[in-house]
Structure 1
Amino acid sequence: MPPIPTVSGTSSLAARPVPLQRLRVLFALILRDMNAKFGRSVGGYLWAVAEPLGGIVLLAVAFSLALRMPPIGTSFLFFYATGMIPFTLYGNVAASAANAVRSNRGLLSYSVVTPLDAVLAGALLELMTMSVVAALLFTGIVIVDDVVVNFEPIRVVRSFAMAAVLGLGVGTLNCVLFGFFPTWKNIWGVLNKPLFLISGVFFTFNSAPPAFQEVLWYNPLSQIIGEMRAGFYGAYRADYVSDLYVFGIGLSLFVIG
């Protein structure tokens, strides 16, 4: 009996190891998201980096005029940046993951592409973009403001990881809730707004009243920001940070989603 002919593309995909296939799908989705959001030119991605970078710098300059002396260190620009970078990373990853299925609905008709691939690709793209923004922003402020830092890369990387995992968990769960309950998108927008004021972007956990600290500790963003500041300020004590607590919340929400 003659062998049954097969389509070369299908057979090669089937023969390829699953982990390698998943990586190829993720890479293709990341490139597609880059083209969709930033265009095919290098200038498009540069603008994607410059936009959040410029927004953070403008807000930092504005607040530094009113609050000249930061709670720790000598530069309010640097103090604000160490709070705003992890907060923005969390927000961008959460928003990207929440809208991943809707923005990639056409690609989900292919059996090789799953909703989880779309969610992870969007989160990875935001993580890479904010990493570039953070490197440029921190380096620029250190040079311009002549800031002396005690850099601990492990703590900074841990803060980035916690912000990304928390954003991925919240975004994945919201991706499901937005689909089943469209009204939840409006409710979540209202609930999410106070986080900017109560997460420690403008103050430190240690400077808050003891009664408020007991409540603030349960906000994982305050711990993420505290870990980031501990990675740049050697004298800052961040003993209250529990990476197990933050990773546990993020991964639990991700599994539920």
Structure 2
Amino acid sequence: MASDSPFIVGDNRNGGLRALPQARLNRRQRALRTIAALILREVSTRFGRTPGGFAWAVLQPLATIIVLGLAFSLIARTPALGTSFLLFKATGLLAYQTFQSNSMMVGKSLAFSAPLLTYPGVTWADAILARLILNTLVSVVVAVLILTGIIVALDLSLILDWGDIVLAMALAALLGLGIGTLNCYLFERIAIWANLWGILNAPLMIMSGVIILYDDLPRRAQEWLWYNPAIHITGMMRAGFYSTYQPTYVSVAYVLAWALIPLVLGLLLLRRYHRDLLTR
């Protein structure tokens, strides 16, 4: 017989559906509504206060790709892969940027949503999830628009490996979440860490295979740069666009370790110290 209790959802006849407390379901619904509201607030703040709005999210990486493509076309006759300098730079930059932007945006979640975190219905985890979801969606849409535009404009014929492409973008987002969650604690605890992280991002882009292919680097440099998880992501992304490219150095397990260990550590630190950070 179905239960009439307000705390039970479903029919338990013959050991059927598992009982689920109504209060827990309500908490999940409230959390989803809170995250949706934070996303809308982020959209209006990021894209609604500047002329052009979302267009800048596309134009900024596109301008970087064009500048890099033109510069390297003056140095070399052909790119390391394929025939298009623009596509070669775009496949590396857009995957790296997904990681980089998530690590920075998620890292500033507490500072951005601090006024709202005083309300009992809004938690630090909601702020992190809202920024992660929005920033990842923006990164994916920007990547699709730019890469599709380059392929169509240059009339390129490609055999795409969607498995590698999707996995590379997913790992980039996850790595950004892991580093960003730890940064969320460090940005608030160490005053200059946000500035130091911003400074590190410039050389990190060069060391992540965005400009130069990992396979073209000297052996000694390869041995050191292999430990950079972002270079595995750019290699996998390019494998998805260039069917003849097989980056044997790529390790998914290594990238996952770099993503999950900082994520767990960051979550533990935020759970323990988030109230102290908000009152600093």
Indicate the TM-score class for this superposition, using the shorter chain for normalisation: 0.7 to 0.9
Q: Deviations over 1:159-212 (max 9, x none)?
A: 111111111111111111111110222333333331121111122222222222
Residue pair 2:106, 2:128 contacting (<8 A) in 1 also: yes
The verdict on how the C-alpha distance between 1:15 and 1:72 changes in structure 2, with shifts beyond 3 A counting, is closer
Q: Counterpart amino acid of 2:156?
A: V
Question: 2:206 aligned to 190, 193, 197, which one?
Answer: 197
| Alignment match, 2:277 | none
| Alignment match, 2:46 | 37
Residue pair 1:53, 1:133 contacting (<8 A) in 2 also: no
Q: Deviations over 1:131-157 (max 9, x none)?
A: 111111111111222222120111111
Q: Secondary structure at the match of 1:17?
A: helix
| Alignment match, 2:58 | 49
Matched, 1:70 2:79: yes
- Inter-partner Cα distance in structure 2 for 1:34 and 1:20: 21
Q: What are the within-5 Å matches in structure 2 for residues 136-215 of structure 1? A: 136-215=145-224
Q: What are the within-5 Å matches in structure 2 for residues 8-157 of structure 1? A: 16-39=25-48, 44-157=53-166
Residue pair 1:34, 1:45 contacting (<8 A) in 2 also: no
- Inter-partner Cα distance in structure 1 for 2:122 and 2:183: 20
| Alignment match, 1:9 | none
Please say which of residues 52-61 and 211-220 is displaced more in the overlay.
52-61
Residue pair 2:171, 2:233 contacting (<8 A) in 1 also: yes
- Inter-partner Cα distance in structure 2 for 1:122 and 1:196: 22
- Inter-partner Cα distance in structure 2 for 1:237 and 1:153: 15
The verdict on how the C-alpha distance between 1:101 and 1:61 changes in structure 2, with shifts beyond 3 A counting, is same
Give the C-alpha shift of residue 93 in structure 1.
Answer: 0.7
Identity %: 42
Please say which of residues 33-42 and 198-207 is displaced more in the overlay.
33-42
The verdict on how the C-alpha distance between 1:185 and 1:57 changes in structure 2, with shifts beyond 3 A counting, is same
Give the C-alpha shift of residue 43 in structure 1.
Answer: 5.2
- Normalising by structure 1, we get a TM-score of 0.87
Give the C-alpha shift of residue 20 in structure 1.
Answer: 3.1
| Alignment match, 1:239 | 248
CA RMSD in angstroms, aligned pairs only = 2.2
Matched, 1:252 2:255: no
Q: State the aligned residue count.
A: 245
Residue pair 1:82, 1:229 contacting (<8 A) in 2 also: yes
- Inter-partner Cα distance in structure 1 for 2:261 and 2:127: 19
- Inter-partner Cα distance in structure 1 for 2:80 and 2:50: 42
- Inter-partner Cα distance in structure 2 for 1:141 and 1:47: 17
Unaligned runs of 5+ in 1: 1-12
Residue pair 1:169, 1:250 contacting (<8 A) in 2 also: yes
Q: Deviations over 1:65-85 (max 9, x none)?
A: 334410111111100000000
Please say which of residues 149-158 and 202-211 is displaced more in the overlay.
202-211
